[in-house]
Amino acid sequence: MDEHNIESHPDLMDPDWQRHAEKEAWTGLRRDRRRARRRPAAIWGAVVIVAAAAGFYLWQRGTTPEQVAGSGPAVLTSTTTAPAPTDLPGYGRVDLARPFLNTPAQNWPEGIAGLKIPAPAKVGAFSAKQVGAAQEQVKHAVEVAQFDKNVLEGHHPEGYVGLFAPDQRGDLTAHIRHYVIYLAEGYRLLPVQPRMTGKMTVRPGETGELLVHVSYVVAYAFDPGSRIVNGPADLEPFVRVDTDYILRNGSGWAPGDRGLWAGDGGSFYTSVACRTGKSDDLAPAFSDPNYDAPSMSPQPGEFDPDKPLPTKGNCGE
C-alpha cells in the first residue's frame, strides 16, 4: 500500500466506514447552513461548515489526513501569539480544555476584561467623575447580562433589571430576552470562561443625558457530553451586540426616570440552534442537527465589533 495515498488507507476501505461516511455526508448536507434568527431588538445567526466524510472519520479515530500522509501530528496553535482565524471553523479537532483554540476568540480576554473602556473625561455637562461612574454602571450591566450565572443558568434577571431606572424596569422585565443571555434548558457550558472582545464609547445626548455605546462579541463554549461534534462551530455560539445605554441625571428628569436606561440596539448570534424549547434561549448548533434553511454567506461583523452589525436572518422569523 502506498502510505501517502489516503484513498487506500485501510480505515477507508472498511465497509463499516463506507456506510458511516455516507451517513455523515448526508448529515453534512443538511447541516451545512448558516442559521440566523431576527427580531426587532435582536438578530440571531449561525454557521456550521462540514468537511469531507473521510477526514471526519479519521479525525474521530484519532488520525488526521496529515498523519496518514506522513507529515506528522498536528501542532496546537498558541492562544497568545498566533493569529486567530477570521471565521469560525465548522470542522476540526476540539480541545475541550481549550475550546476557543483556532477560533476567532482564541486570543480574546476572558469575561468582561475583553471590553475596552476609555479613560473617563468630561463630556458635555457631565464631569469626568460622572462619566467614569456611568462607564462602570454600563460595564457592570454588560457583565451581568452576558456572564452572571444567576442569569445564564438560573434565568433570574432581577440583578440585571435592578441596575436600571425605576420607570424602565417593567419594560425590561417584559422583554428580558432582548437584553440578557439565557442558556437553553438541558445544555451547560464547559468549565472555561467565555471570551470577549469589544469597546465602549461615550458621547453627549439630549439635555441631561449621557450616551454610552457598547459594541462587542462574546464566545461561549457548550459541553457536548457524549455527542460527536464536527468542530468548534458545533458547540461555540458567538454573540455580537451593538447597543446604547443612556444615563439620565438632573432635575429635568422625574425621579423615576433618573438613572441608567437601555437604549436602541441589536444582536447577531452565530453558531446557534434555531429550534429550542424557547427560541430566544441560547443553545449550541449541535442541539439542532436537522436544520434545513437556505444557506447564508459569512457576515463581516459576526466576529468583529468594528464592522457593522449583520442584519440578515434565515430562521423563518
Q: Within 10 Å of residue 218's Cβ, how many Cβ atoms?
A: 26
On the question of pLDDT at 238 being above 90, the answer is yes
Q: Compute the distance between CA of residue 24 and CA of residue 117 in angstroms, rounded to an integer.
A: 46
Report the pLDDT value the prediction gives residue 38, as an integer from 0 to 100.
47
Report the pLDDT value the prediction gives residue 293, as an integer from 0 to 100.
60
pLDDT tens, position by position, 178-217:
999 999 999 999 999 999 999 999 999 988 999 999 999 9
- pLDDT greater at residue 29 or residue 104: 104
Report the pLDDT value the prediction gives residue 273, as an integer from 0 to 100.
83
pLDDT tens, position by position, 66-79:
322 222 333 333 34
Cell digits for 260? 441608567
> CA 79, 189, 212 angle in degrees (round to 5)?
75
Predicted confidence band at 312 (pLDDT cuts at 50, 70, 90)? confident
Q: Which residue has the cell 479537532?
A: 93
Phi/psi for 59 (5° steps) reads: -60, -40
- pLDDT greater at residue 30 or residue 254: 254
Phi/psi for 212 (5° steps) reads: -115, 115
* Overall average pLDDT of the 244-253 stretch: 94
